[in-house]
Structure 1
Amino acid sequence: MHELTGFQRDLLYCIAGLDRPSGQTIRQELEEQTDREITHGRLYPNLDTLVNRELVSKGEIDRRTNYYTISDAGVEALQEYHQWGTGRLP
């Protein structure tokens, strides 16, 4: 998890909290949470990075829309990252 960017970690947390979200659902959720616009050019390359690192799986809803799910490795990475961060709080 430490090799991921903050945005990639945010994506991973977001995907973990949703049921097979599309890229647009992920974008909307993060925009609502962060109050910042997320462009297509930022979103999809970062989702691809998570897929390539096998932290997220990608499936097809239809020819134009994909869905994303967190993999077992992604869940494990989030749990380890959470434990690491929690151990540093006063």
Structure 2
Amino acid sequence: MDDLTGFQRDLLYVINGADRPSGQDIKEEAEQYYNADINHGRLYPNLDTIVNKQLVEKGQLDRRTNYYAITDAGKDIIQERRDWENQYLES
């Protein structure tokens, strides 16, 4: 996970916590967390990056709307991050 940005990592968490969210769903959740507007030029290139790294799969809900789903590799990355964080939180 060391080659992901914090924003990309946060997108993984959002996608993991939802059932096949659309890009708009992910955008809304991220905007709530960051308390700021997130434009398409930031969101979709970062989604494409985590799709290309095979951490997330992308599919079509309809002709205009894509969905995103976490892969096993994406879940593994999240768990590795949690394990790493916990070693500092538990002491």
TM-score range, shorter chain: over 0.9
Whole-angstrom CA distance in 2 between matches of 1:2 and 1:43: 19
Structure 1: where are the runs of 5+ without partners? none
Q: Could you say which residue in structure 2 is the equivalent of 1:80?
A: 80
Deviations 1:15-49 (A, max 9, x none): 00011000000000111122111000000000000
Q: Could you say which residue in structure 2 is the equivalent of 1:55?
A: 55
The TM-score normalised by the length of structure 2 is 0.95
Question: Aligned Cα RMSD in Å?
Answer: 0.7
The TM-score normalised by the length of structure 1 is 0.96
Question: Deviation of residue 58 (structure 1)?
Answer: 0.4
SS at 2:69 equivalent? strand
Whole-angstrom CA distance in 1 between matches of 2:76 and 2:32: 26
Structure 2: where are the runs of 5+ without partners? none
Whole-angstrom CA distance in 1 between matches of 2:63 and 2:39: 21
Question: Deviation of residue 60 (structure 1)?
Answer: 0.3
Identity %: 60
Write out the 4+ residue segments of structure 1 that deviate beyond 6 Å after TM superposition.
Answer: none
Q: Could you say which residue in structure 1 is the equivalent of 2:25?
A: 25
